[in-house]
Structure 1
């Protein structure tokens, strides 16, 4: 099996999409699959991760030559809004573009059942759910960084934290306002802010955050975030899956999430705490519950067990099966 595993804009795209591609390539390394990261058509499968114009160009030609096309559905119009400056306006134009682009594939890979439901309204193309997975090897040794990162950001446990780009869609307002309601608890958001790319409202929320709410900016060793944090707080409004959430669970951290369809696979009170709220009161109550170290331990242990099904070793074989099905 020879695959062109192409990631358009690879030099520029960061965040979850980049992590997903890295996970896929690590999984392919485990399998008997030869792949190139260049866009090539002299292959058994053309697999693209971001349907930019060059990917569309190659996908059209692959189809004309009888080379099956596989595409990951990392991007939807629904999760594009409230991300960076101008993305709300562009989201309206993105939907028809993606409908045409995803329609060129012979198979679409969706990271979750929720994403699959969305994508099936985009294109009449067979879909399959394959998780982005969690790279537990990347987290190895994170515990040793606890003291360093807590001292660096002056944090006192229990620390409420989030990992990822600072984006309004991920629940920035809820994160900040919950911190304001709990002034004796340290909240910290580990991840790039990219101020030049953010809208006025996002920057206002960051700049006006209370003193117990820290935004670290880019963190070179992300293991430090999972070492310093005690409660992973993810009040996102829209998500295709959430790699950082899977990483937090794999690290044995209890998680608090907004009760949205993406997280329907999580069981409230067992492997997470869910809050069905647009405001902050419910999140405040959930975090108050997690002041109890025994509750944190129980939910964290359950989360770690639940995350095992998402390890790269568990997910890898699904790509091998998919490639065999399309060829």
Structure 2
């Protein structure tokens, strides 16, 4: 079996999608599936990770030639907004475009059950859920970097942290306001910080953040983030899965998440703390939300609670290891051929 495992715009896109593609290719290597990263119809399966115009062109021709098409549903209109400059405007026409593009697939790979539910409004193409997974080996030895990264960014434990692109959708406003609410606690967001790509509101939040809130920008060794951080705060408003969350769990960090449908598989008080996004009457105002998140973070000043939640999270993350998931791709490809 030979797979055309194509990632359009591969040289321009970073973050979770790029990480997922890297994970997929590692898994294909481990189960012995031959693949090329070039788009070609000289393959048993065409697997497109981003349905840009070139991928759509190849998908249409693959169908004409009887080559099965697999498409990953990394991108939805729901999680495209509040990301970078102009993405809110683009999110409106994106949904019908993706509906047509995803409809070309013989099988769609969704990274979570939540994502599969969203995609049901786009197309009736068959779907299967396969997690993006977590590369546990990538984090090996992260503990040895603790002193270096705490000193580099002047962080005192217990540090509240987040990893990934700094974008509003991931809860930037909540993150900054919590730092303001808890001035005695260090907050650090590890991830690319290119203000030229940010909207006006995102730039303002970053520039006006309090002194105890650090935006590190890109770091060359992501293990340093998990070494310096103690509590992984993920107040994202919309997420397809969240690779950084899986990495934090693998590293044994206590995690605090917004209680949204994406995280239904997590158990509050066992492998995380959840903060409800709604209050009396079905909604929660900003002050109540910050108070609820702050209460969760104050609880996690208790090292015993952090240790218990982190240990449970690490155990839970084992089901998302690349070794645990890899066989699902070979099974999917074989089912289509």
Q: Tell me the TM-score range normalised by the shorter chain.
A: over 0.9
Q: Which residue of 246, 266, 284 maps to 2:294?
A: 284
- Following TM superposition, by how much is the alpha carbon of 1:124 offset from its aligned partner in structure 2, in angstroms? 1.1
Q: SS of 1:280's equivalent?
A: helix
Measure the CA separation in 2 of the matches of 1:222 and 1:164: 10
- 1:120 Cα shift? 1.4
2:280 corresponds in structure 1 to none
1:20 and 2:20 are equivalent in the alignment: yes
Give, in whole Å, the separation in 2 of the partners of 1:42 and 1:218: 38
Give the whole-Å Cα distance in 1 for the aligned partners of 2:329 and 2:233: 31
CA distance in 2, matches of 1:208, 1:197: 17
Cα deviation for residue 144 of structure 1 reads 0.3
* 2:324 paired with 1:314: yes
Q: Does 1:34 align with 2:44?
A: no
1:75 pairs with 2:75:
yes
Aligned residues between the structures: 327
Q: Where do residues 146-165 of structure 1 align in structure 2 (5 Å cutoff)?
A: 146-165=146-165
Q: What is the CA deviation profile of residues 13-32 of structure 1, one whole-angstrom value per residue up to 9, with x for unaligned ones? A: 00000000000000000012
Match of residue 3 from structure 1 = 3
1:186 aligned to 2:160? no
- 1:225 equivalent to 2:211? Answer no
Gaps of 5+ in 2: 278-283
Which aligned pairs between 1:209-220 and structure 2 lie closer than 5 A? 209-220=209-220
- CA distance in structure 1 between the partners assigned to 2:94 and 2:196 by the alignment: 22
Alpha-carbon distance, 1:192 to partner: 0.6
**C-alpha distance in 2 between matches for 1:238 and 1:194:** 21
Q: What SS does structure 2 have at the residue aligned with 1:285?
A: helix
Q: 1:90-239 alignment to 2 at 5 Å?
A: 90-239=90-239
1:115-161 deviation line (CA, Å, top 9, x unaligned): 00011111111000000000001100100000000000000000000
The aligned counterpart of 1:54 is 54
TM-fit CA distance, 1:106: 0.2
TM-score (norm 2): 0.97
Q: Deviations over 1:201-253 (max 9, x none)?
A: 00000000000000000011000000000000000000000000000000000
1:143-194, Cα deviation, whole Å (9 max, x unpaired): 0000000000000000000000000000000000011110000000000111
The runs of 5 or more residues in structure 1 that have no matched partner are none
The runs of at least 4 aligned residues of structure 1 exceeding 6 Å deviation read: none
